Amino acid sequence: MLEVANLEVVYNEVILVLRGLSIEVPDGRIVALLGANGAGKTTTVRAISGLLDVHEGDITKGSIRFDGMDISDAKPARIVEAGITQVMEGRRVFAELTVDENLITGGFTVKDKTLGAAAYDRVMDLFPLLSNRRKQTAGYLSGGEQQMLAIGRALMGDPKLLILDEPSLGLAPMLIEQIRDIIVDINTQGVGVLLIEQNATMALSIADYAYVMETGKIVMDGDAKKLLADDDVREFYLGLHGEHGRKSFRDVKHYKRRKRWLS
C-alpha cells in the first residue's frame, strides 16, 4: 500500500537527514519504525504526510507511492484525501475545542455524510470514554484521553493507512496497554498502521514487520516477532540488555565492535 524508495531528505538545503531510506507498509498490516531520538523517524513521517515544507525540508532523491500513486510532491490535504491520516507526536488536539468539535475537524475531507456518520460511530465504539465527554473541552482531558481523541480524530478521515507517531509517549504503563489494544482493534477493522515508536517492546508485540533506524537509514528489518526474540537486536538496537546488563569496560568495547559489525 505504501512504498518509500531510496528517500533522501535535506533541511535548509544543507542538512542531510534521510540517507536512501526504503520502507514498505503492505495493505492491512501493522509496520513498526523504531529508533532513538534523532534517527530520522519524524522526518520520515513528515515526508509521507507532505509536511516537510513547513520545516524547510525537501525530498532530494527517491519517491513515495501510495496505492500506486506518486505522492512525493503532494500537498497534505491531497494525501489525506488519498487515505493517509496521522496522529502527531504529542497528540496536538485543539485544546479550546470540545471533543466533538475536534472529531468534526478530522472528518473535514469526507464529503459523504453517510461515511462521516459511520466513522463517528466507529470512534465512539472504539473509545466509549469519549462518548461521555463529547461536549467537554479537549484541553481538560487527561493525557490518555487526549491520545484517544487524537486517534479518533484521525479515524474520522476514514483512512486506509493510519500513521501513529509515538502514541505511547508520556503515558502510564496501563494506558500504554490500552493504546496498544486499540491499535490492534483498528487494524482488525482493515486499517493499515505505520507505528513510529521508541517503546520497542510494545511496538514489536503487535507489529507484523519492523524497521530499525539509525542516523537516517535502515540498519535492520524483519518479522517483528523474530526481531523481538533476537538477542543481538534486543541488546544493540532496542536497549534490552537482560538481567545483569553490561558491567565492564571490556564489555562496552565488545558491544561497540559487534554493533558496528551488525550495521
Last residue of a domain, one of 158, 176, 209: 158
Looking at the structure, tell me whether residues 181 and 73 fall in a common domain.
yes
Last residue of a domain, one of 158, 185, 214: 158
Looking at the structure, tell me whether residues 164 and 219 fall in a common domain.
yes
CATH (domain of 27): 3.40.50.300
3-state secondary structure of 137: strand
Is 127 or 243 the better-scoring residue by pLDDT? 127
For residue 245, being part of any structural domain is answered with no
Looking at the structure, tell me whether residues 140 and 165 fall in a common domain.
no
Looking at the structure, tell me whether residues 182 and 210 fall in a common domain.
yes
Is 55:46 a contact under the CB 8 Å cutoff?
yes
Q: Whole-model pTM?
A: 0.86
Looking at the structure, tell me whether residues 208 and 150 fall in a common domain.
no
Last residue of a domain, one of 158, 175, 202: 158
For residue 44, being part of any structural domain is answered with yes
Query: For residues 137 and 182, what is the distance between their CA atoms, to the nearest angstrom?
Result: 23
Query: For residues 256 and 191, what is the distance between their CA atoms, to the nearest angstrom?
Result: 39
**Domain range for 170:** 2-83+159-229
Q: pLDDT at position 230, please?
A: 82
List, for residues 178-237, the tens digit of each pLDDT value.
899 999 999 999 999 999 988 888 999 999 999 999 899 999 899 999 998 888 777 766
For residue 40, being part of any structural domain is answered with yes
Q: pLDDT at position 252, please?
A: 43
Is 197:203 a contact under the CB 8 Å cutoff?
yes
For residue 237, being part of any structural domain is answered with no
Helix 99-106 with 143-155: angle, nearest 10 deg: 30
Structure confidence at residue 239 as a pLDDT band (50, 70, 90): low
**Mean pLDDT of the region 20-39:** 93
Q: DSSP string spanning 21-47?
A: EEEEE-TT-EEEEE--TTSSHHHHHHH
Looking at the structure, tell me whether residues 62 and 192 fall in a common domain.
yes
Structure confidence at residue 172 as a pLDDT band (50, 70, 90): confident
> Number of structural domains, the chain?
2
